[in-house]
Amino acid sequence: MLAIVIMLGLLVGESPADERFHFPVAIPPMSPPIADLSLDLDNLWAYLRTHGDAQWETFPSYLPTVVPHFLEIFDRLNLRATVFVVGQDAALEKNHGPLRQIVDAGHEIGNHSFNHEPWLQRYSREQLVDEFEQTEAALAKITDQAIVGFRGPGFSLSADVLQLLCQRGYQFDGSTFPTFLGPMARAYYLMTSTFSSAEKEDRSEMFGSLRDGLRPLKPYWWTTPSGRVLELPVSTIPIVRAPFHFSYLCFLAQVSPRLAELYFRIALAICRLTRTSPSLLLHPLDFLGGDEVPQLSFFPGMKLTGDVKRAFSERMLAIYAKQFEVLPMGEHAVRIGTKVTNSRTF
């Protein structure tokens, strides 16, 4: 797929911006299709923990820095999003200010687990119940919203998680990531880590399996013994199932911002042609550069400065907002729920 994008980029040439990225397929005029926007608010400590850095144990935070950055961009573009908050962050008073800023700006809050351990599928039912109870209690300190959406850290999911979502009144899940690249990402992650054998075993299912790449790209219902919950998959490019969330785009932008933008426009065009409503995923590091959080220089895309990355992310979000009616995930779920007929069991 990347080779195709590079070839298209070479063919595009140096024409003006509006023409440079014109996708040569006629799309008939119509009202903008629905899409949604979400942000997983993974904090500095969560990334350090993922990398095996013991500094995570003091729960260092960049929320006071990054939250105003993405809220300003969302406000300029008139976008509302679902922000999945980690319970541990909501439990700490030092984070309440920036988290309440998100709520006050009109964004939806979702559950992103309490401990941000991306192996929920290895938890016992009792551990999962405790995880949900702690997170919901912590989120109640920053918002009076009913928490109706969940995304597992590292796209971790299990039958027990889905059953708990139904039992606890959740309306949607966003934990599936239908791509075949997950095992490759996991192999690279473990190969470059310093984890013990036991720690690597905990992480042995991170980012999913090849089977996950076969899951549907469009919304569907998970059916459990306790009811059903709507799945809104994190979007990958239809047919090829390559990722196009912003962490990937920022990585491409290190090579060429033009190439990254072309890739994004092609992804959105294919979504529209296949009538796939995109569910676009953001992370805090899409709005922070390596100059601002040097501890995370190991993360893809961190060679860009914060100013450059924010300008790039805002430009991509403007493209998204122009082509789609962008909603928080909860509103998306309500809007389409009665129209979704496909269902499956875990």
Do the domain assignments include residue 3? no
DSSP per residue, 183-240: HHHHHHHHHT----HHHHHHTTTTT--TGGGGS-SS-EEEEETTEEEEE-PPPB-TTT
Is 7 within a domain? no
Q: How many CB atoms lie within 10 A of CB 274?
A: 12
Domain presence at residue 207: no
Asked if the structure places residue 332 within a domain, the reply is: yes
Average pLDDT over residues 71-98: 99
The answer to whether residues 298 and 263 touch, using CB atoms and an 8 Å cutoff, is no
Q: Does 17 reside within a domain?
A: no
Residue 10 has pLDDT above 80, yes or no: no
> Is there a domain that residue 225 lies in?
yes
Output the domain CATH number for residue 51.
Answer: 3.20.20.370
- Please write the tens of the pLDDT for every residue from 45-59: 999 998 888 999 999
Average pLDDT, the chain: 89
> What is the model's pLDDT at position 316?
99
Contact call for residues 287 and 310 (beta carbons, < 8 A): yes
Task: Give me 291's structure tokens.
Answer: 């100059």
In a domain, 204, yes or no: no
Residue 221 lies in a domain: yes
132-189 pLDDT tens trace: 999 999 999 999 999 999 999 999 999 999 999 999 999 999 999 999 875 665 555 5
Predicted pLDDT at 14: 36
Q: What was the pLDDT predicted at 98?
A: 99
Confidence (pLDDT) at 18: 45
Strand blocks (E) in the chain: 34-40, 82-85, 108-111, 149-150, 172-173, 220-224, 227-231, 279-282, 325-327, 343-344
Q: How many domains does the chain have?
A: 1
Position 12 pLDDT exceeds 50? no
Three-class SS of residue 19?
helix
pLDDT at 185: 58
Residues 236-288: tens digit of each pLDDT: 999 999 999 999 999 999 999 999 999 999 999 999 999 999 999 999 999 99
Give pLDDT tens digits for 16-75.
444 444 545 555 556 899 999 999 999 999 999 988 889 999 999 999 999 999 999 999
The domain in which residue 140 lies consists of: 33-179+213-339
Q: How confident is residue 196, by pLDDT bands cut at 50, 70 and 90?
A: low
